[in-house]
Every structure is written in structure tokens, then in C-alpha cells.
Amino acid sequence: MNRKRLGYVLAWLVAAALAIVVGLAAVSTVGASIRGRGPLGNDVVRDVGRGDNAVTADPDVRMQRDTVTGDFGGFTVGCRGVVVYGLSVDPAQGWDVVSYEEGPDDDVDAIFVNRAEHRSIDIEVFCNRGQPQLDDIEDNTLPDD
């Protein structure tokens, strides 16, 4: 009976160790894939004198532009290194823009709303290696009021 229990304990310890190794490998892999976003890097100039942690991109870095589109319309963003700018919003018919960030920042978002359909779309974009990257798009249902 004791050998059986010892076998179960040993099997449990091996399984736990394997789970930890797989978990660490997964977190390491995912972390490496998003590391390009991270905190603002060396190609960012912070205006420390202003006191509001404003960021500006290096003017020598060429801006890369892209537009996130959907039934809500479009949100055009531009990246200079890791600094992103919300350049323009173009709501589709029936949609309104509640707000959008112009940047410069490490991420910008835009919120579109369609009151007739009781929907809102929240889009968040950041820069990954100088290219606009969609971080999140939330399709929400609005209350009836």
C-alpha cells in the first residue's frame, strides 16, 4: 500500500514540475512576441521640463500609416518608432465618433457608436517595430436608454 502511495506522490510531483516548465515556456514565448510594444524606447524624446510626461517621436523616423476599418468606418493611425498618433476617424453612415486620441502616446484609441443598433466599437492601436498594430477591438452592446 505504501509503494502505491509513493508512486502516486512521485507521479504528482513529475506532473507538477512538467506543468511549471510548460507554463514558463509559454509565458516566455508570448512575452517575446509582444516585447516590441513595451515601454517607450530610445527613439522617444520625453519633454521632462513640461512635467506631464509628454512624448514625441524622433522626427528623423519615417511615419508608417494604416487604417483599421469595419462596419463602423475607419480609424487612421501613424507610427514613428513606438510612438503612435491617431490621425483621423471616418465614421460610416449611422455611426458617430464619441472620442479618439490624437497622441502622441504609446497607444491610441477611438470609440464609435451606433445608437440605432445599440452598439459601440472601441479600437486600441499601438506601434510594433514602427508598424501600426491593432491591440484590441471591443464590440459592445449599449443599453436601450
pLDDT by residue (tens digit) across 10-40? 889 888 888 888 887 777 666 544 544 444 4
Model's pTM, two decimal places?
A: 0.62
How far apart (Å, rounded) are the C-alpha atoms in residues 18 and 58?
Answer: 46
Same domain, 77 and 94: yes
Bridge partners of 124, per DSSP, are 109, 136
Same domain, 53 and 98: yes
Count of domains observed in the chain: 2
Structural domain boundaries, residue 94: 44-141
Per-residue pLDDT of 34-86, as tens digits, reads: 544 444 443 444 444 444 556 677 777 889 999 999 999 999 999 998 899 99
Bridge partners of 127, per DSSP, are 132
Same domain, 65 and 102: yes
Same domain, 101 and 133: yes
CB 78, CB 62: distance < 8 Å: no
How far apart (Å, rounded) are the C-alpha atoms in residues 33 and 54?
Answer: 27
